[in-house]
Amino acid sequence: MGFLQPIFLWGLAGISVPILIHLFSRKKSPVYFFSTVRFIKLTHRKTIRRQKLEEILVLLLRTVLVACLFIAIAQPVSRKTILAGKESYTVLILDDSASMSAGPSQNVWKNLQKCSEQILASLRKGTNVSVVFASGRTIPFSRIYQDVAKQIRESKPGFHGNTLQTALNTACFLLEKKSGYKKIFIITDFQKSAWEKVALPGKISADVTVIDAGEDYRENLTIKDLYPVPGKNTYICEIINWGKQQVTTELNISGENFHTVKQVNLPGEKTTEVEINIGNDCQSLKAELAYPDVLKIDNQFYLQRETSGEKKLLLVSSDDTSLFYTKSSVASSGTIVVDTKKTNEISDVSFEQYRAIILVNPEKMEVSAKEKLYQYIFDGGTLIYFPGERIAPEDFNNDWLHKGKNIFIMPAKLDRKHDFIKSAGVAWIATGHPLFTEFGEQTFDYLKTTRFNACYSVREITGDILMRLDNGSVALIEKRIGKGKVFLFTFTPCQPWTNLHTKPFFPVMMTVMIDYLSGITHSVSVGNTVIVKGSENADSVNIINPEGTISIIKNTGKMPVSYVPDLPGIWTAQFIAKGNEQKQMVSVNVPHTEGNPSKISYGEIRTILRKTRVNFVSRNNMEKFITMETSGGNLMMVFLELAMALLITELMLSNLFVFFKEKGAHASHKL
């Protein structure tokens, strides 16, 4: 028998504790003198001997119990091939996520490959071995270890996030119907973020060994996000410094005919927002840190905004007057194309083609239309809502509660309509908001003749108030939902509600609002599914990856086409639908959590895999582990189970001895 963690054998010194307690608890009985001893029963020597035997037995149990506990912690391994006569199945779970490419020349991945080959080389002849990569690829069970080793040597870490949960599920499925000795090896870098979402439905019917192939890297930088500031040619780049030391480096931002370099100081253990001013309206941008840290692939970030050109929005209303004024105001700029629909006509409309959707005094929508509208907003679309006479506050508050996500979509709930005795004017505006920066200090000059005769009162406000009237009523609220935005006006742009729609301010504000909404970005993480919008009417879709490789997806079922990007960069989907050529461009990036060097502890993994026998091995201890583990069975659980049995036995005997002692004392008392 050998030990994987022999350092814990020092704990065997703890067996002296129950011995010392036993020795110091033995007190010499005091001597008392009596005038007569006729009422005192002489103690039989047999009783004394029995008590000593009881004490020695309890002492022995406690001593062996402590010894078993520390031997188990030292992870004993038997050299006997207990299961030599049974069929054996081994599954290697290899973490090939982005974090495994850390280090010079991808040291962590090379550690993983070496550990894998050591396990394969030591397997007992006839063992069936399969490999499950965290990226989803699987090598089926095989007994030709050379072929399996070759496939592992030729593999590389990807750019996706860690999916240990999926890999564990796959491994359990592969072993579920197998009978015999079953073993799972998980080779990973012990990245903490990889285990945070791991939850097992039950006990794994196999012994599990987790091997640490990681290095002790503590310093790393990650670009978390790059996004536009609405209404401006300004972008914010969020950079995480996972380490403790402040770092100074260069941030490169490049796009179509644009390139700039900015010096940045990044404090340790913080996320820093860096503002970049861009002279023109770029649809595609790339941010890159010029810093030689241990993980290169998270030092880049790609951004794809919606393509420039036609600005198209959908106007939905059954109120002809309100529809006329709103449409005239929005279309007056000449740069916005407006499609109009009635409320009962939007169920079959594809919302994704519109930069914004405006609802003006709409009627009650069908459930299917509401669900599509919810998803449109969560995916980055914008809704502008003007309630009117057709709105019932109870219906409004029920319709805009997304029961599946338990989220109220609107920035406030409607209370009731207020008809003002005296008309109200604009008292306050969030002049710093991009909607109003176009007007500057003259905002109130434009609005001084604007009057409001009625509006809805609101409650439970969860958004930002952008306009308030002088009678205290709220006129405009904004809220961000998912990647999208919702603007709630509390009035309808027509008489007798207000005269705002007749003022030059209104069409300018609406045009600026549409421009403000032009910052919609399309970005996903590597490994996530991308649905090509509008592709259900196409016969095929061309998928072009960042390297220019084209793959053709046939759409025989006339369903929305989807694909899973495996490289960071700008991906393009091209197809022809309804006689028109269409294009969808998406930026794909490495999940920023892959840059987090924080490690998980053995104890935390034991808690996650609490119903499973788990062993832990470091890469430096692999040779010793292979020599012991693959030639016999692990005895750690045997000693733990023995310790539990000894504990139960000791408790039972101790209580039993006390019971008999008290019973004997009670009998003597009666005599």
Instruction: Say yes or no to pLDDT of 511 above 90.
Output: no
Separation between Cα atoms, residue 297 and residue 98, nearest integer Å: 8
Query: Are the C-beta atoms of residues 58 and 653 closer than 8 Å to each other?
Result: yes
- Counting every residue written for the chain, the total comes to 671
Instruction: Say yes or no to pLDDT of 13 above 90.
Output: no
Separation between Cα atoms, residue 492 and residue 475, nearest integer Å: 10
pLDDT value for 86: 66
The residue with greater pLDDT, 37 or 303, is: 303
pLDDT value for 218: 86
Q: Which of 444, 312, 330 is nearest to 386 (CA)?
A: 330
CATH number of 88-216+598-634: 3.40.50.410
Amino acid of residue 223 = I
Instruction: Say yes or no to pLDDT of 669 above 80.
Output: no
Instruction: Say yes or no to pLDDT of 548 above 90.
Output: yes
Domain boundaries, the chain: 2-77+638-670, 88-216+598-634, 221-301, 311-519, 526-585
Q: How confident is the model at residue 487 (pLDDT cuts 50, 70, 90)?
A: very high
Residue 300 token pair: 């880049």
Q: Which of 622, 630, 645, 603 is nearest to 207 (CA)?
A: 630
pLDDT value for 48: 59
pLDDT value for 90: 94
Q: Tens of pLDDT along 379-435?
A: 778 889 999 888 888 889 988 988 888 889 999 999 999 999 999 999 998 877 777
pLDDT value for 309: 44
Q: Which of 376, 356, 304, 351 is nearest to 524 (CA)?
A: 304
**Domain 311-519: which CATH class?**
alpha beta
pLDDT value for 665: 56
pLDDT value for 63: 83
pLDDT value for 269: 94
DSSP string, 252-308: EEEETTEEEEEEEEE-TTEEEEEEEE-SS--SEEEEEE----S--GGGEEEEEBPPS
Separation between Cα atoms, residue 272 and residue 240, nearest integer Å: 6
The residue with greater pLDDT, 266 or 306, is: 266
Q: Tens of pLDDT along 65-99?
A: 788 877 777 777 654 444 444 688 999 999 999 99
> Which H or E run contains 645?
helix 636-670
Is-same-fold flag (88-216+598-634; 311-519)?
yes
pTM (global) more than 0.75: no
Query: Are the C-beta atoms of residues 476 and 368 closer than 8 Å to each other?
Result: no
pLDDT value for 306: 62
pLDDT value for 30: 58
Separation between Cα atoms, residue 94 and residue 336, nearest integer Å: 52
- β pairing state of 181-188 and 207-212: parallel
- How are strands ordered across the β-sheet holding 247-255? 258-266, 247-255, 284-289, 300-304
Separation between Cα atoms, residue 246 and residue 576, nearest integer Å: 51
Separation between Cα atoms, residue 573 and residue 530, nearest integer Å: 10
CATH number of 221-301: 2.60.40.10
Q: Which of 168, 176, 155 is nearest to 194 (CA)?
A: 168
Instruction: Say yes or no to pLDDT of 453 above 50.
Output: yes
Cis peptide before 597, with omega less than 30 degrees from 0? no
Distances (CA, A) of 658 to 64, 180, 645, 662, 665: 21, 47, 20, 6, 10
Instruction: Say yes or no to pLDDT of 2 above 70.
Output: no
Give the relative orientation of helices 505-516 and 320-331 as an angle to the nearest 10 degrees.
Answer: 70
What is the SS3 assignment for 439? coil
For range 636-665, the mean pLDDT? 74
> Integer distance in angstroms from the first to the last C-alpha of the chain?
57
Q: Find tokens 């960069």 and name the residue.
A: 569
pLDDT value for 320: 72
Q: Find tokens 């012990």 and name the residue.
A: 190
Instruction: Say yes or no to pLDDT of 567 above 90.
Output: yes
Q: Say which range, 22-26, 98-102, 125-129, 231-235, has the weakest mean pLDDT.
A: 22-26
pLDDT value for 311: 66
pLDDT value for 79: 44
